[in-house]
Amino acid sequence: MALEEKREKRPPVTPMMIEEEAALRNGSRGGLPSGPWAEAAGPRPRTTERHIAVHKRLVLVFAVSILALLAVTMIAVLLSVRFEECGAAADGPPRAGGNGSFSGAARQPPGVGQPPGRPEEEEARGGEATAEEKQEEEEEEEWQRRRELPPWARPRLPRHLRPLHYNLMLSAFMENFTFSGEVNVQLEVRNASRYIVLHAHRMHIEAVRVAEDKLAGGVRVARSFLYPQTQVFVVVLNRSLEVQRSYNLKILYNALIENELLGFFRSSYVLHGERRFLGVTQFSPTHARKAFPCFDEPIYKATFKISIRHQATYLSLSNMPVETSVFEEDGWVTDHFSQTPLMSTYYLAWAVCNFTYRETVTKSGVVVRLYARPDAIRRGSGDYALNITRRLIEFYEDYFKVPYSLPKLDLLAVPKHPYAAMENWGLSVFVEQRILLDPSISSISYLLDVTMVIVHELCHQWFGDLVTPVWWEDVWLKEGFAHYFEFVGTDYLYPGWNMEKQRFLTDVLHEVMLLDGLASSHPVSQEVQQATDIDRVFDWIAYKKGAALIRMLANFMGHSVFQMGLQDYLTIHKYGNAARNDLWNTLSKALKRVGKSVNIQEVMDQWTLQMGYPVITILGNETTDNVIVISQERFVYDSDAKPKDPALGDNSYLWQIPLTIAVGNTSHISSEAIIWVSNKSEHHRIPALEEASWLLGNINQTGYFRVNYDIRNWRLLINQLTRNHEVISVSNRAGLIDDAFNLARAGYLPQNIPLEIIRYLSEEKDFLPWHAASRALYPLDKLLDRTENYNIFNEYILRQVASMYLKLGWPTNNLNKSLVQASYQHEELRREVIMLACSFGNKHCHQQAATLISDWISSNRNRIPLNVRDIVYCTGVSLMDEDVWEFIWMKFHSTTAVSEKKILLEALTCSDDRNLLNRLLNLSLNSEVVLDQDAIDVIIHVARNPHGRDLAWKFFREKWKILNARYGEALFMNSKLISGVTEFLNTEEELRELKNFIKSYEEGAAASFSRAVETVEANVRWQRLYKEELFQWLRKSLTH
């Protein structure tokens, strides 16, 4: 789009906080502010022309000469000023309105504050330091003498100021992707200081002013500067701010609407052959500072009044509804939004787009809208999300007994976003793949993904937005709860799916235990000192381990008491901040109210402040009847791995463990009893423990730990599964499978035990144990898929799958969506078995996939059943020729359905053709072809393909600088990439390559690389110690 002159016009002035600026509040472009800012902001008075009556010619000539001289001087000055303005406009984005009216604009150190991506220019001073630079040096020397860091060099903001309210006016120029801003912050002074330190990063500061409250005058600014090392802006005043007084800080600035994924960034989509752009924000955890100067820490809650000026062809959105819109003659409009409640900066949000929407209203009157591309809205792709959002708000209001706090909730579906979604209060942003759903081409799996992301983000409107963690060390207080409620909320929508009791195990518990079983893991609550540490805490430990600990807590407290405690916690801390001890205290009080006395803090501190988790070992006492020995130790996959903290060996770890236990025999299992295990080893008497009885620990896997038994008990459990598996609950059948595979992988069990357990699966009709087996087999498969004896393992798995594959068959096309709830378990079981059959080479499965792909190509009608499309696409690309790959590639480009686009792209990574895999890897970095957030998935899926693992690993190393620049700041995107590319490397040579690579590129992602090294070391160790043992048993088993 061509640049237009109107973008250079002064935007309407921001409404001010103080009464003296009432003229500015009215939005008048020509109005003059009153009060302490009048002198600084008003234009200079023009000289009045005087008609002087003179009668003497000499006086007249003299006067004319003087006037001529003044006129020449004024012209010269004006030309000089105009020259400087032109130069400034050429150097950076359009400047915030009113810059010329401010005297004493903030000084920038050389190169600091330049718009991002612009060349830095240093003013020539003839080599002599200015007075301000000398003053700066003297101040730094003074701080050094005190042996203190200056307030701007500290990792956290100084505590002497507190923001009360922000008035923020933005002008978005979508033609050249820049924006200008004016922010007014009302500050409360807690301790006297002459420094104002707040966050600002990658922006150009135009001017800064400080005014005292009410009728007092301004406070003179001695100097101001950006300090990039800690991403702060520093205002040094001539005198100290007085305690218990409030002041107004006004900053004019401008910056770019970046082509990246954080801060205020841009995205685009194509409609009717035309590329359209939008601007959207992603501030969590520390990127609000890229969009406006602010106190960018969660403890600094304030109210916000946002105004956004944009071209009338766009609309703007923010956390609150639009209060008024002011239209201008030149085709621009300013939207003024209602004031927010108290909130933190990281979930403030806005967007400038030309989307359309559909809306609904909850029983309590909350207006819910879903905004998306016009074609997606027209197709009804957002209707499912909109309808369940209304129901979920009503569910949470009833469960928490705390009303939703804002008048509206907008759901915004954007093409490009670093995460699945972001819970901005009142304006939640979703990547299209996690909210848009076309019922005619979306599988049950895809519907489940969309559902759970929405449930997660809506929970954050209470846990995170209404009640916010004090600091990022307790990020799990919001992410753990939101992840746990994904399953509780989905159970509300689909009661027959049993998400919290069943699917939680495979998708959360089993998955996070893989990560938390590494010596390089970290506690769920970990110390965070500086900005670089913050990204590190946003990982699956915070999300999934946090959720698993909350589930364990809910189960040993009792769900009704737990719910009552959460209601109290939200009521007490709403609109404020809370730490983990606040939660523990509230839950302990809830227990006391029902006559139970458990010190929740004492129990849970061991789980949240220690990394890892225990393995409980239960041994039958050979000498004493009905007595068992229960011991605990830290579970770790590689016992040779060096602990993260050498001072804390694995023997130092101790937990208070709520171990539930039951006794069973061939036809019956007893009711569970709870034993609190708090010592390294304990003896316990178990009644009715007969010789043929078996023990089962961690009933329904509600606890966050693994359970091991003596070999005799394992044999009894295996026999029970073979004879009558239904005596043991579905959840425990899945738990036994997962525990056995992982205990064997870590060397606690012989390698044959897990493979013997899964023999019973031919009779298993429930989805969950199959899903647990599939997930447990996957890493074992990747350890073996490049070995010469792989076919032995492959044949064994096919034998276990064959009979159930024949029983279930293939689904018919066009699954009736009204039957989704009733058929979910059956359809997911069928899908799991077909996936295993095709993955391990069942001939019938391969033929069926090839037939379905061929029919699609020949008829150009896709009759492949929705729930297995991804399996068929991948299998077809793997088995068939290059023409099939090209066909899938063409369909990927032509489809507009986001769910279909995702599985088509992933199918391309399944090829056996290394040239095609290399081509795809190189195309993945082209943002016009593959969206930035999808490129990571392409690289990871190629790495999972045995034909592409070395290609992806080589590509990763060669393109690391590009990848790190693109994803380095985005939460856990880098760690996801590093883990995905390296987790199945398993040779000595690959381990050496990894270590050498890390030495070459030490900067960034240190924790992720540390985990990667430990994982690969464990893989190499397993190959060395256990691979042959496994193959020997498999050979024997296949010959019998």
Give catalytic residues, as residue numbers: 457
Name, in order, each residue with C-beta under 8 angstroms of 1014's C-beta and a sequence gap of 6 or more: 518, 519, 520, 638, 641
Question: Quick check: helix, strand or coil at residue 165?
Answer: strand
| Burial grade of 533 (CB within 10 A; 0-12, 13-18, 19 or more) | middle
* Helix H or strand E segment including 408: strand 408-414
Burial class (CB in 10 A: 0-12, 13-18, 19+), 763: middle
Cβ neighbors of 207 (< 8 A, separation 6 or more) are 96, 98, 99, 102, 104, 105, 106, 250, 251, 252
Q: Which of 662, 655, 695 lies closest to 676 in space, CA to CA?
A: 655
> Among 315, 253, 355, 313, which Cα is nearest to 1's?
313
Furthest CA-CA distance within the chain: 133
Cβ–Cβ < 8 Å for 697, 636: no
Sign of torsion, CA 875 878 879 881? positive
CA distance 884 to 893: 14
Strands 303-311 and 657-664: unpaired
Contact 21, 37 (CB under 8 A): yes
Angle between helices 949-958 and 973-982 (to 10 degrees): 140
What is the residue whose two structure tokens read 């910056």?
255
What distance in Å separates the CA atoms of residue 495 and residue 395, rounded to the nearest whole number?
Answer: 13
What is the token pair recorded at 61?
């000539």
Per DSSP, the three-state class of 605 is: helix
CA distance linking residue 129 with residue 136, whole number of Å? 10
Q: Listing from the earlier edge strand, what are the strands of the sheet with 204-212?
A: 218-219, 204-212, 246-256, 178-189, 161-173, 303-311, 332-337, 322-327
Of residues 298, 295, 290, 299, the one with CA closest to residue 254: 290
Q: Strands 274-282 and 706-709, how do they pair? A: unpaired
Q: How far apart are CA 795 and CA 652, in angstroms?
A: 43
Whole-number Cα distances in Å, 749 to 51, 745, 790, 868, 970: 107, 8, 22, 35, 39
H or E element: which one contains 861? none
Relative to beta strand 303-311, strand 274-282 is unpaired
In angstroms, the CA 1019 to CA 463 distance is 38
Q: Check whether the bond before 495 is cis (ω within 30° of 0).
A: no
